[in-house]
Structure 1
């Protein structure tokens, strides 16, 4: 085999290994990628039940119901609402009328099953899409 042919096979082998490494990295990234949606976006899109995503908005007033460790509440962006069920301890800042981000997936009945709940004490930490929807609905609370 000539040196030229050896270099060609070395280049082809290196490209194959590089391609396999890129494919593995992209697969791992896709598995860990979590998208953020508002209730209106969830209503507009068809999201597979097993797909994990983050749901953000405001906890609707009068919607929090506790039954032992299970907590049910509704998240709204003032246009659409989604029921959420969560088992576990809620953050100290969680309350009705405050911003919340829940990570989980949609159940077969359309209820969002949260694995983690993050309470936000200020609209400054809210994603721009949710903040815009709240401002348009006239529910935005200005900081003093």
Structure 2
């Protein structure tokens, strides 16, 4: 092999090794920052593929706030409540101001860390609402500006041409 080819081969190999190392480090960093989503049933029983979160793992959990389980500490912003879907419930502990839409029987998504098999210390709580919800002021304004249009037969025939 002549020196020119040897130099090219060395350069290509160095480029491939560097690119592989970069991709490997990128995937490692993304894996550590990934928050997996679980329902309360999946958290307790494990996902369909058998994976179960480990204590200390960051995750997201979504479900309905169980009626009668919201406990607020009168001296701080500490709140504890249970979240459930169709199966077992999971306790969520949160220190902070809850969203305005948060209430019992409402859907929520909490992001935090698993501290034991059925308890999560949340760093963020998001309240879900119906996609069709519209504040009354907006609904009223839309009704005023979007009144049904009355077309005559001539207008309909002209638009068809």
**TM-score normalised per structure 1:** 0.81
Q: 1:110 Cα deviation (Å)?
A: 3.4
Larger radius of gyration between Structure 1 and Structure 2 = 2
Aligned equivalents of 2:34 and 2:116: distance in 1? 22
Q: Structure 1 pair 93/121, CA: closer, same or farther in 2 (3 Å)?
A: same
Partners of 1:40 and 1:77 within 8 A in 2: yes
Aligned equivalents of 1:44 and 1:123: distance in 2? 30
Aligned equivalents of 2:131 and 2:89: distance in 1? 18
Aligned equivalents of 2:58 and 2:89: distance in 1? 18
Partners of 2:109 and 2:125 within 8 A in 1: yes
CA RMSD between the two structures: 1.6
Aligned equivalents of 2:81 and 2:130: distance in 1? 19
1:1-144 aligned within 5 A: 2-45=3-46, 46-67=52-73, 68-108=76-116, 110-122=118-130
**TM-score normalised per structure 2:** 0.72
Q: 1:48 Cα deviation (Å)?
A: 1.1
Partners of 2:98 and 2:125 within 8 A in 1: yes
